[in-house]
Structure 1
Amino acid sequence: MKVKGLLNQLSLLFGCLCVFGLLGENVCAATIWRSLMVGPHYPGGASFDDTIAGTRMTNLSNQFALWSNWEPANMNVLIGAVTSEGITQAIMNAGVDDDDFFTFVYHGHGSSNECYSLPGERMFADELHSALAGLPATSTKLVVNLSCYGGSFGNELSTLNNIAFFSGAGATEVLPEPPRFYTNLFDNANPNNIEFVDWNSDNRISISEYYTASQVVDRGANSQYNNSNSILDNATVFYLPASVAEPSSVLGIIVIGVWGLKKIYKQGA
């Protein structure tokens, strides 16, 4: 009888482990993935779409939301008449905690003197540094500059803890149109193309894999992070969405169901 009771307890434990994904599945810690994507008005002449940056950042945010670890409630898109103060406040209000992953993407005009050219004003690299420095030092930060001369921010931001900084253009380069970092990530870093991006087939995309998928390598400030930053392979940008129940979870439900039915049957007998 003792052996039978022990087997029943073990089967219940086994079922619970399966249901909660502890057998053979990735288990995410308390990390929350948060993002701020900034796309100011982008004036470029009478024949140019001034809202293109905002539209692209909205689309990119929607792309992130396809993945299991990104929740729309933790994602913010700042477009239109963006100001330096608005960016700073949005970073401060992002709710980033100690173990969170924070992604900041800027797509817009940039200047060669280390600044964003916002509508009517500028935001300098040291201002962005100050805003990001207000986040917990142990949080992981991924900064992507999609602007002309975007690499000029690299030296200023490199002093922050747990940061990876990538730029679609070097410190002396004009950003191509369409920007390579954006277009390649948008096309490749999505659940349908995980085989292309997930080089080690672990059902997640690290910063390093995310960066490689962009096909923008060794550009300006990026080279200092290529194979040298400790968070590149340890920080996950995307976890593969679970569109269907995992086999182990289904098995766990069956085991617990059978165990429960036996209990009910015995009590009614």
Structure 2
Amino acid sequence: MPENNQVKSKRELAMERMKAKYPDKSFDDDESFFGQINDDYDDYDKKLSESQQREQAFSDMFTSDPRSARLMMEWKNGNDPAVALIRIYGHDILDAVDDPEKQEAIKQANKEFAEKVAQESLYEETYNTNLEQSLSKLEEYAAQRSLPDDVIDSAMETLITICKDVLLGKFSTNTVDMIIKAQNYDADVEQAAIEGEVAGRNAKIEEKLRKSNKGDGTPHLDSKNVMRQPKLKYDLGALDRYDDDSRDIYERGGMKRNPKR
């Protein structure tokens, strides 16, 4: 039985390739898809032009003096370039050193070399000093926050990756997003605290209102369901018969009011 393998279109293959190359980007529409292809072509053309310029420079150098090509090959094969220089150029090197017209140029070249070595030595010394201080501070930081070594190592690996990318001119959206969040962290925490405090107050107010509506067993003063407290009864002797709240003063006195005309 022949296998029914689905043949992907050129567009599908190109889309898969772009998504694999740029996993953080979305190519849902043609504008973004072809825009990225155009950017890649521009970058490719730029790198190709730079490479061609370097090749042309080496070609011109080798053409102007074929011995330079031999020196490069000796060096590439692991031979000592200084020995290869003498082997290839012979007395030309020694004659150049003794040539008065070239003394100043040789002196300047040697000065530049010495300055470069001194600068590299200074950079290395500064790097080692800073690294030692940084590691000490990281140990204190981890101890104060009880952070395990693997957490610090992971953070440092991420930081080193970002630094390498920056040196290569790479700035990913994830890195930029992470920096933006870090810059706004304090403000976000403060805002979250304020919102939490307001939410807590609102919850307490709602709880009080809920209890108030439900009732706690205490009658309201303006409620119709308020129970009247019985009036204290005093011993009035012969006047007790007049002390009756159920009748008005005329009924208690055995009198009748004449309606007003």
Greater relative CO (CA pairs within 8 A, separation 6+): 1
The structure carrying a bigger strand percent of its residues is: 1
- Return the TM-score normalized by structure 1: 0.23
Structure number with greater Rg is 2
Compare the two structures and name the one with the higher helix fraction.
Answer: 2
